[in-house]
Amino acid sequence: MHISSVNFDVDLGPGTTKVPVEFELQNPKLWWTNGLGEAYLYDFTFNLIKDNVVTDKYFLFSSS
């Protein structure tokens, strides 16, 4: 399920290996104390796009 996307432009100079990214989850489902409910986990996909072409992808998947 696709929830939302965030787009922004950055200038990557020679040797740049990290870009800080901030985002906010709207109305996230909170975790319950161990044994009292489900632990909601989220999946994330990050795309690096240059000239409207995806040049790299990074995935963070929950274990669910």
In a domain, 8, yes or no: no
Q: Which domain holds residue 42?
A: 32-64
In a domain, 49, yes or no: yes
In a domain, 13, yes or no: no
**Strands 44-50, 53-60: pairing kind:** antiparallel
In a domain, 1, yes or no: no
Question: What is residue 12's predicted lDDT score, i.e. its pLDDT?
Answer: 81
pLDDT at 1 over 60: no
Q: What is the pLDDT of residues 4-61, one digit of tens each?
A: 677 778 888 899 888 887 877 788 888 888 888 887 888 888 888 888 899 889 888 7
Label each residue of 1-62 as H, E or C: CCCCCCCCCCCCCCCCCCCCCCCCCCCCCCCCCCCCCCCCCCCEEEEEEECCEEEEEEEECC
Question: What is residue 53's predicted lDDT score, i.e. its pLDDT?
Answer: 92
In a domain, 46, yes or no: yes
Q: Number of structural domains, the chain?
A: 1
